[in-house]
Amino acid sequence: MEMVETYFKEKNIPYRLYEHPPVFTVADALALGIDMPGVGAKNLFLKNLSGTRYFLLVLPNTMKADLKIFAKIVKEKKVTFGTPEELMKYLGITPGSVSLCCLLNDTEKVVIPYVHQAIIDADIMHLHPNRNTASVELTKDAFAQFLISLERPVYSIAAVDMPLQSRNDIGQ
C-alpha cells in the first residue's frame, strides 16, 4: 500500500483509503458489508492460449464476466486466467489483490489493461491498493487522472460491446 499511497501523493491524485479484513472475491466484500459508496471493481488477470499476451480486465463488481466476448474484443480465439506465477511475474501481486494499481509494478508494460466504460463513467469507484486488506476510493476525475498518470494505453470497453449483465451468484 505504501507504494500506491506514495504514488497517489506524488501525482496529486486525491483518494480515500478504507481498511478492512482481507477479501478475495466480490462475494467476500459483500459478506463483510463494507460501506463504500460508488462502483467496486472486479479485476481479472487473463492471457491468450499461447501465453504471449496478458490482459487486466476491469469490470463493475456486480457484472458477470463474459470471457468469450472479451476474447473477441482482443482478437483472440480464447482467453483464460493467468497463473499465480504469471501474476507475480508481471504484476508483482498474489491472487486476491489484483487491481489497476498493480500496473505500477509492470514496468515493462506487458499487461494490457481494459476497463469497462461503466467503471470509467462512475462518479466514484474503488479498487485494491495492491493488497486485499484495503480499498482506495477515487472520484471520476481522480480515476481519469490515475489512468493518464500510468503513461500507457488503457483501453475502454463500451457497454454495447460487453453489456452489463448482473450476476445472480454474488454472495452465494
Return the pLDDT at 148: 96
Read off the pLDDT of residues 28-68 as tens digits, 9 standing for 90 and up: 777 877 777 889 898 999 999 999 999 999 999 888 889 99
Return the pLDDT at 170: 42
Return the pLDDT at 171: 41
pTM of the model: 0.89
Read off the pLDDT of residues 71-105 as tens digits, 9 standing for 90 and up: 999 999 999 999 999 999 999 998 888 999 999 99
Return the pLDDT at 158: 86
Distance between CA atoms of residues 116 and 145, nearest Å? 17
Cell triple for 150: 500510468
Instruction: Decide which of 3.90.960.10, 3.30.70.20, 3.40.710.10, 3.40.640.10 is the CATH code for 2-157.
Output: 3.90.960.10
